[in-house]
Structure 1
Amino acid sequence: MSLSLVLAALVAVTDSATHNGRAGQTTVPAVRADTTIDVDGRLDEPVWRRAALLTGFSLYQPADGRPAPDSTEVLVWYSPTAMHFGVRAYEPHGPVQATLADRDRVSADDNVEIQLDTFDEGRRAFVFIVNPLGVQADGTKSEAGGFIPGSNVMPGQNDLSADFRWQSKGRVTEWGYEVEIRIPFASLRYPVGAPQRWGLQIVRHVQHSGYEETWTPARRASASFIAQAGKLVGLAGMRHGQVVELNPELTNTAAGAAAAPSGDWRYRNDAQLGGNVRWAVGSDVVLNGTVKPDFSQVEADATQIATDQRFALFYPERRPFFVEGSDQFNVPNTLVYTRRIVRPEAAAKLTGKIGRSDVAVLSAVDDRATTSDASRPLVNIVRLRRDFGRQNTAGILYSGRTSGARATTTSPAPTRAWCSAASTSRRCRRCRA
């Protein structure tokens, strides 16, 4: 074989492994490797040399359409059980901003954001964010319209209320920073069947300059950001499994009071057994159930002041049972506010995507203390949505709340006969009327 043919073959191999976003190489054949690695923040395992390489980032903010001044490389491959990403972010212009921040609070640091549109809808995506030390933020991004009351998350913004299980670790280097990421398929939702085609976008945030850079050349004037993502194609042989999570809870409340006439304190214990169950039936359907859940570990609400009594206050939904799949109940005019289910005795929720249809069902029995007649309200919510075309949807929502106050018929109150003593405002001693 001549030297020219050898060089041509080497160039072809290099071009197939490297995908430059500015050059329009935004369709990435997925690289599969049947191996496992230790997520240690160093991309030194041999499998990383076989991974697909994403380069050629573009500036998105403050002005789009320009080459990114900072060089970024993202390596992508997958095993039968997880997606793997490796990030090399070069920083020759300024210092790297990295702190041991709390989860979901890395916006003040340099960070890299991975967006996976696993159903290739062009409207919704899973979001995984890491700072240079591997501190995580995660959630979802939706452009389907509407927002969840109290979350202050408008369409197109990241909703970080959901938490997924994934691994990440990073380190700051003399040339920038390096991060290693593993996202199990059991933490994702994706369609059944193979091969699969996922939307993929990488966003880098640089703190010292305020720049936001994207792998594919995204335009700010476009109606959709997610639809401008690249494509990860050829995914097959992934193992999601049926994931079952059980979380039993036992709480006890002790109340005491002084007993008369001795004045000794007597205590009454009120023990409550409950728990949560999450069953990932497959890669596209999840069933959640809860019985007398304990929300004492949920982050407290920030104080709000009602300056105008004509408008209701809305608080963000942070309770784990209600958070998962909450975007599937969303509608443009905000009809669902799950915080009105105050203290559920029991609840069940089914969310998933079957073909091109979204299905979301929630049924809950609330505590009797939430009504005036001491009955247990029953709340039912059903949301169905169907995709047609590229970015078009049609849907319907049903919601209902039934309690004893609505079902009970009011009967006339019994009357008492008053004797002549009533005229003098004294009750008759004989009839006690």
Structure 2
Amino acid sequence: MKIKLLIIFLLFSSFLVYSQKKEDDHIVRKKVLIAKTSSSPKIDGILDDAEWQNAPAATNFIERNPNNGKPQADSIKTEVRILYDDTGIYFGAQMYDPTPNKIAKELTERDGISNDDFFGVTLNGYNDKQQSLEFVVTAAGVQFDAKITTDGEDSTWNSIWYSGAKINEKGWSAEIKIPYSELRFPKGNVQEWGMNIFRKIQRIKASYDWNFVDNAKDSYTLFDGVLQGIENINPPTRLSFTPYFSTYINSYDGKTTANFNGGMDVKYGINDAFTFDMTLIPDFGQANFDNSILNLSPFEQQFSEQRTFFTEGTELFSKGGMFYSRRVGGEPTVYPTTSDNEEVTEYPSKVKLFNAFKISGRTKKGLGIGFFNGVTQKMEATIVNHETSEVRKEVVEPWANYNILVFDQRFNGNSSVSLVNTNVTRDGNFRDANATGILWDIINKKNTYKTFGSLKGSWVMDGETKFGTRGEAGFEKIAGKHRFSINGNVTTKDWDINDAGFSTKTNFGNYNAWYGYRILQPTKTFNNIYLNFNLNYFHRLEPFIFQNFIFNHNNSFTDKNFRNFGGGIEFTPFAQNDIYEPRTFARHLKVPGYFDSWVWFESDTRKKLQYNFTIDYYAFDEKGRNHVLTEFGIRYRFFDKFNVNWNFNPSFSNNETGFAGKNDTDIFIGRRQRNTYENALTSKYTFNEKTSLTLTFRHYFSDVTYKKFYTLNHDGSLAETNLFDQNLNGTYNAWNVDLRFSWWFAPGSQLTLLYRNATSNYLEFSRLNVTKNYDMLFSEPTVNNFSIKLTYFLDYNRVKYGTKKKAAKKLIVKF
């Protein structure tokens, strides 16, 4: 009954927000009228081209951070001139600075802004305040691009455009050309685009915008200015091909193999709004390694996506958290069934992706549509019978088809309603699955209040059909100093989206209340203050049982020297009932309450030496039981081309209890000590804005020692036992080294050389000393891999335009 009343209240709140009078928030939109040029300026960062002299200028920038609304001082003023021709739009910017020698210009890889001044523009071809494309160039000449929506910034989006930057006696200057093929705008003789222009001065940590951006609101896209004057251009044909060639030399356990691969990515603009992307015979062998851990939890470890095709342009496909792209080409879904005399000698660690494509875009009426489809190949395991020497194959993953369909309708500025469907169909009698969700975010016209929620269903067909549901609803204040949120969500026991998505905890209800305070303008001591207070109540749905009640307070501060620090407390006033650790339906494990406190600090990122640390201590209401998490990091920038990052993360868990095993009658729980150390080092030398050399190292060590075993009583308490005598002590090591050379030798074209060294082991004993542990780790077979991959970007418009120019030159010569 309480759940029903909560849902009714939240839906009523949604109606109130949506039905408010649609008042204009009186956002002032600057306008600039640009002119067409018959000749193009050279994109080298030097503003000496004649075309710039009479070009219209955007000036009078306004500070966004830290002093929101303050006009930009004349000594650091920004002047931006804008032109267009038949191929694209041009920006020429002079960033004034009285101390040019202090301009921050650290060299990084593309999309890697660090200690840098930068200049950028956002363009919205539909002028609807819904979605902008962002183009940024740093003072070191490094490019960054992203897609900005009401959900935030998606830096996985990549584009092909041209830029240059130079330090000069006035400060520094930048030039940008954005081809029309990289933009989205409707057909029409006269264009009117949403636009903003921004600049960051790193040494004073100040950012400025041409059109004022109100920090009391959380959506950047609401504050576009207007770009006028572009006439008689049409969206060009958007067609490009990116073929690749790669070769690998692998050495493992005394065996050396080599292979050669080739494939291609295709990108085609179906119309002015929608884009078709396809990868044919993809190769992801140079993706970054996964940070594997010793996982003792009831749930699988979730890894971040490393494959380029799946990380680019994910704004629509990430809606509702229902699509986990690592499922496509992940691990096989079954393990072979063997008899007593059989052994699995070969088992594929990954499923091969045959091909994949996606279609995505948004209409001028705000309807976003995304469709993804991927096909994976059949994979087999090899099984040997030791008595008969018979070798057989067994399918562990059949041919499979994965797809996701998304409709996302935006309206009234920031509001949206979405429909998401995922489907996995496997050949033969293997498991199939489907999931559907409806999501909504309804925001009032002033962008101050929001109601949100979702209703989702999952179907799994594996001999019989399993149906599960998940629902969420909430109401929050999203603007001003004082903010709050109330929300609730319910997930049934059969909720399962793990064929195409990622889900863990099920069969629970959770209700949350949050209050937050923030300052909107700097004080005498602080540039930023954030204070947050949370209450969370959890219970099991079936059969009902109280699970947990948590109070949390966390805060963060930025002082005048741009040092960031904060901390917080969290506690559970009552004992917890862990419904997942027993790994059996309707059972639970009693866990004592805890008091958690933590502090963290991050030094000024502008300095050559930067450091940070976090200390997090859990004290449980049980003698000798605690959990300590620590993180330490050091970054040293030797000079603008070379920096080193080191992170050391030790953690210790004393007297924790966890699942040990079970039989037909009993569930066994073990009391254990766990120590974990993680070392990671990244060193990068950037030769210029197109070429870099990176060394990445990680060693992860975790050991667990069991002290005592218990049987789990039905009331969640423990009883000592001598029935369990298995050895569960263990030590896990993972060692990875990557040395990568990357050269962007042409727009969108890259040559990558990678050397990889990796090994791991799991030992059925613990508490080794350091020397013994490393001796045993490096006695394991080690993977040594060297690979070369070449990708080359071919743009239809560049080829077409280049062919026309050559033909025109020949005609002039003949004449």
Normalised by the size of structure 1, how large is the TM-score? 0.76
5+ residue gaps, structure 1, are 1-22, 145-155, 259-264, 411-433
* Residues in 1 aligned to 2:326 and 2:237: alpha-carbon distance in whole angstroms: 29
1:116 aligns with 2:123: yes
> What does residue 337 of structure 1 align with?
324
Deviations 1:341-374 (A, max 9, x none): 1242111211122342211111111233499633
> What does residue 370 of structure 2 align with?
360
1:37 aligns with 2:41: yes
Contact conserved, 1:291 with 1:344, CA < 8 A, in 2? no
Q: What SS does the corresponding residue of 2:35 show, helix, strand or coil?
A: coil
Q: What SS does the corresponding residue of 1:326 show, helix, strand or coil?
A: coil
**Aligned with 1:167 (options 162, 182, 193):** 162
**Aligned with 2:415 (options 392, 400, 403):** 392
* Residues in 1 aligned to 2:196 and 2:324: alpha-carbon distance in whole angstroms: 31
* Residues in 1 aligned to 2:245 and 2:93: alpha-carbon distance in whole angstroms: 43
> What does residue 7 of structure 1 align with?
none
Deviations 1:380-415 (A, max 9, x none): 1111122333333222111111224126987xxxxx
Deviation, 1:224, is 1.9
Q: Amino acid of the residue matched to residue 226 of structure 2?
A: K
> What does residue 296 of structure 1 align with?
285
Contact conserved, 2:261 with 2:283, CA < 8 A, in 1? no
Q: What SS does the corresponding residue of 1:227 show, helix, strand or coil?
A: helix
* Residues in 1 aligned to 2:418 and 2:189: alpha-carbon distance in whole angstroms: 27
Contact conserved, 2:29 with 2:224, CA < 8 A, in 1? no
> What does residue 190 of structure 1 align with?
185
5+ residue gaps, structure 2, are 1-26, 330-351, 382-394, 433-460, 464-815
Distance 1:211 1:354, change over 3 A: closer
**Aligned with 1:135 (options 129, 142, 145):** 142
**What is the number of residues matched between the two proteins?**
368
* Residues in 1 aligned to 2:211 and 2:325: alpha-carbon distance in whole angstroms: 37
* Residues in 2 aligned to 1:370 and 1:96: alpha-carbon distance in whole angstroms: 58
> What does residue 96 of structure 2 align with?
90
* Residues in 2 aligned to 1:217 and 1:138: alpha-carbon distance in whole angstroms: 21
* Residues in 2 aligned to 1:220 and 1:409: alpha-carbon distance in whole angstroms: 51
> What does residue 58 of structure 1 align with?
62
Deviation, 1:335, is 1.5
Distance 1:346 1:229, change over 3 A: same
> What does residue 317 of structure 1 align with?
305
Deviation, 1:267, is 8.4
* Residues in 2 aligned to 1:323 and 1:194: alpha-carbon distance in whole angstroms: 35
1:348 aligns with 2:363: no
* Residues in 1 aligned to 2:462 and 2:293: alpha-carbon distance in whole angstroms: 38
Q: Amino acid of the residue matched to residue 112 of structure 1?
A: F
Instruction: State the percentage of identical aligned residues.
Output: 24
Distance 1:406 1:77, change over 3 A: same
Superposition pairs for residues 365-380 of structure 1, below 5 Å? 365-369=375-379, 373-380=396-403
* Residues in 1 aligned to 2:71 and 2:256: alpha-carbon distance in whole angstroms: 70
Contact conserved, 1:186 with 1:283, CA < 8 A, in 2? no
Superposition pairs for residues 213-292 of structure 1, below 5 Å? 213-250=208-245, 272-292=261-281
Distance 1:49 1:61, change over 3 A: same
Distance 1:302 1:233, change over 3 A: farther
Distance 1:302 1:179, change over 3 A: farther
> What does residue 402 of structure 1 align with?
425
Q: Which has the higher strand share?
A: 2
* Residues in 1 aligned to 2:198 and 2:252: alpha-carbon distance in whole angstroms: 59
**Cα root mean square deviation, aligned:** 3.0
Q: Does 303-312 or 109-118 show the bigger shift?
A: 303-312
* Residues in 2 aligned to 1:267 and 1:338: alpha-carbon distance in whole angstroms: 31
Deviation, 1:76, is 1.2
* Residues in 2 aligned to 1:112 and 1:250: alpha-carbon distance in whole angstroms: 35
